[in-house]
Structure 1
């Protein structure tokens, strides 16, 4: 027997959105962390036995090149890849904050939706500071994106809104989340990396829920033309985030030949499968929202994202 479900009215949708925001505000009041206090920034760094991140997430893990490396090189490489991932996180969180501010600018300040948007912006400010201090603590330089990535993402950060903004946010945040859930539980990893990852995972759970709800709500109202444009732009955004996770300069820091290491990483089926499996839930959700398809799907497959 099929039960007919009446579509929600605009007022019902608005109430649902505000209810979600209200619950997320309550969660933020119960569980928020100040990394300047929660992280022991004076803790010594063990460069001889502990990795900078879970080694299985290293772009060279499982390759012949990884097998030929010394333990010191492996530790150095994981430290620098962790710093590169954090730099990418800072970059996209700054973009995210700009999009959230634009969204909040149009909202009613008395609404829970507006108030949680500001709460998330405050969280992201702390997270970016936390990632920056972690890189400073390990004495690792800032790994910037290629100039062409910076150029191509300027229109996105200046203009992105709606399902494109929240869909892009969701994909970028969940990519970091899937890695850090392993980092925070791994006893082989530096204590500061584990603490930073734990704080980020716990607080990002709220941000991911917020982004999923907004993506689903806005995507349902897209017309065919806007949906096709969103699919392509979203795929480009996700591809760039994944592409920028590991700056090729990290290989030189570990004493490796840069070109040889880049080739090995690109062909590393273990790493590519790990990325693909980690992104599976995000891609499945975006597909359910009608935001995966067309030329963008080819780009996602090329980036080992789906």
Structure 2
């Protein structure tokens, strides 16, 4: 069976899976139920300041507020990346076979991502927080990236934007201190992202035997800056300021926090192993992810 035929077969299977198990977050989540005052918006086990002197000096109410702002920040980042993926896939479809199952699954995945962006936006509103906006340089980068993401690099970028979040969500969605609506949001996202991750991983491994040296070079080095970028996004000073803290001091504390580094390493572990297996983790990429705190 040829690579194209196998890829189409996988796309058809994923489409069937989407028909059997997809969600409509607007009606599948209980948006009318207010946040519980004694529950966290992200579990303390993954919050960036846990274990620092700053965290030790906070009241329980302040800690919950930090979790609210960290949730709003991470959901805002998720919206940016899902928007980027959709625009990249849509650009590729201009030259794709409109009758191919892989095209139909790409459209199905885009539909999932659109619903996820609505779900994330509604969750920010429901939490009582406000979304975080991209800086000008970030907006320019997001506008240009769809033109640069091709071949294996596209699927690597998709995994970088999906797997780290997915791994951490699986770890915390059943936490007893987590807001029930946030737990449900994570259940929905994990179920649908599993298909997206499988499709991206398959795309990378099927290209491995035939990709050129140039494609391998670009794909293995193109994500070198992602670790440093994610560290900055995950420790956004603005979210600490909104929680009533000194934003710069809190960001410095979070970035130097061994506990938070452990969280980052756990989130990246599965993807790091896969990229090594696929031959797409270069020396530069390892350095970038280690510099960002995602590799030991």
Do structure 1's residue 17 and structure 2's residue 25 form an aligned pair? Answer: no
**How big is the shift at 1:27?**
0.6
What is residue 91 of structure 2 aligned with on the other side?
102
What is residue 115 of structure 2 aligned with on the other side?
126
Alignment of 1:133-282 (within 5 A): 133-282=122-271
1:196-252 superposed Cα distances (whole Å, 9 cap, x missing partner): 111000000000000101122234433223322222222224542443134211111
The answer to whether the Cα contact below 8 Å between 1:248 and 1:258 also exists between their aligned partners in 2 is: yes
What is residue 46 of structure 1 aligned with on the other side?
36
Q: Which runs of 5+ in 1 are unaligned?
A: 1-10
In structure 2, distance between residues paired with 1:274 and 1:98: 30
What is residue 6 of structure 1 aligned with on the other side?
none
What SS class does the counterpart of residue 137 from structure 1 fall into?
helix
**How big is the shift at 1:73?**
0.8
**How big is the shift at 1:17?**
0.6
What SS class does the counterpart of residue 50 from structure 1 fall into?
coil
What TM-score, normalized to structure 2?
0.94
Do structure 1's residue 288 and structure 2's residue 277 form an aligned pair? Answer: yes
CA RMSD of aligned residues (A): 1.6
In structure 1, distance between residues paired with 2:171 and 2:83: 24
1:67-123 superposed Cα distances (whole Å, 9 cap, x missing partner): 111101110000110110000000000000011112333322222111111100000
The answer to whether the Cα contact below 8 Å between 1:54 and 1:188 also exists between their aligned partners in 2 is: yes
1:164-198 superposed Cα distances (whole Å, 9 cap, x missing partner): 11111112101111121133211211111111111
In structure 2, distance between residues paired with 1:159 and 1:71: 45
In structure 2, distance between residues paired with 1:232 and 1:291: 8
**Greater Cα offset, 220-229 or 265-274:** 220-229
What is residue 70 of structure 2 aligned with on the other side?
81
What TM-score, normalized to structure 1?
0.91
The answer to whether the Cα contact below 8 Å between 1:168 and 1:238 also exists between their aligned partners in 2 is: no
1:104-156 superposed Cα distances (whole Å, 9 cap, x missing partner): 33322222111111100000000000000000111211112333333334321
What is residue 27 of structure 2 aligned with on the other side?
37
1:44-82 superposed Cα distances (whole Å, 9 cap, x missing partner): 1123x1001111111001112111111011100001101
What SS class does the counterpart of residue 222 from structure 1 fall into?
coil
**Greater Cα offset, 249-258 or 32-41:** 249-258
